[in-house]
Amino acid sequence: MIQEIIPLTRPRTLAAALGPTILGAAFSYYAFGAVHGTGLAIFHTILIFLAVVSAQIIANLWNEYKDFKSGLDAGQKVGNAGSITRGAITPELIITMIKVLMVVPIIIGLYLASTITWYYIPAGFVCILISFLYSGGPKPISRTPFGEISSGIAMGLAIVLITGYAWTRELSWSLLIPAIPATLLVGSIMLTNNIRDIRNDENHGRRTLPIVLGRDRAISLMSITYIFNFIWIGAWIYLKALPILALLALIAIIPAFKTIKTFYMYVDEFELDKAMGTTAAAAMLYQLLLSIGLIISK
């Protein structure tokens, strides 16, 4: 049973939850410090991560369930866990798991709202709403060209701002320095997924961003976002908003390059599935190494 449940959580996408949380905390620590003490801020950061990662797992389970119900998984070779289509796990069990897991972000969210700011409740509600509308509703966002930007906002921008506020108790424009690349990196994970699944999505009438742009333009867009993120760091180092050790994040160029190379070399879904791993690695390395650079430079 455990072997069937783990793939349902889509572990590679969980980097989308960890990276922005760490980056939001590290930047706030470097630029502002902790208004109410570092220990308390770290505790709140851990709680935010637990809430976010549980919400991400819920969203992944919901996405798996809705793809099964809509028939999208029927002809898909990779990308879905396959536990439902094989009959190893029933759709009813997925719904039960979602209901049980929902308790975690709700309890943590209420605690954080009561101790930091009640604005966390509407912010969290919007993020959860986007997550569910991504796969559900009359017209799921995942079937439109807006999947990448919506997931980037909910899992990148929002997480950095929420975490940053836990440290500083205020929203500063400078938080966009870590939030913009975090948003683009989350979007790149979704874009990789959609480029890989382009043929299956077309067969099921989806209008994802790679389908609208075309495969080659979608790959070019991903390349541009990677280049932008690396230039972004250099620009803020030049403006002295980031320390020189922020250049550690450039190591993420290695898996980013592998992702683009994989897309240009292969069209088979099984081969392209490797790009999901390198994209997640690029996002995680960029944010983790940038965070390390910020913490060391404090």
Q: The CATH number of the domain where 79 resides is what?
A: 1.10.600
Mean pLDDT for the stretch of residues 112-126 = 93
Range of the domain at 176: 2-297
pLDDT in tens, 174-216: 999 999 999 999 999 999 999 998 888 888 788 999 999 999 9
pLDDT in tens, 242-298: 999 999 999 999 999 999 999 999 888 888 888 988 999 999 999 999 999 999 998
Query: Given a cut of 70, is residue 92 above it in pLDDT?
Result: yes
pLDDT at residue 88 in the model = 64
- Single pTM value for the model: 0.89
Query: Given a cut of 70, is residue 94 above it in pLDDT?
Result: yes
pLDDT at residue 133 in the model = 85
CB 212 within 8 A of CB 147: no
**Total domains present in the chain:** 1
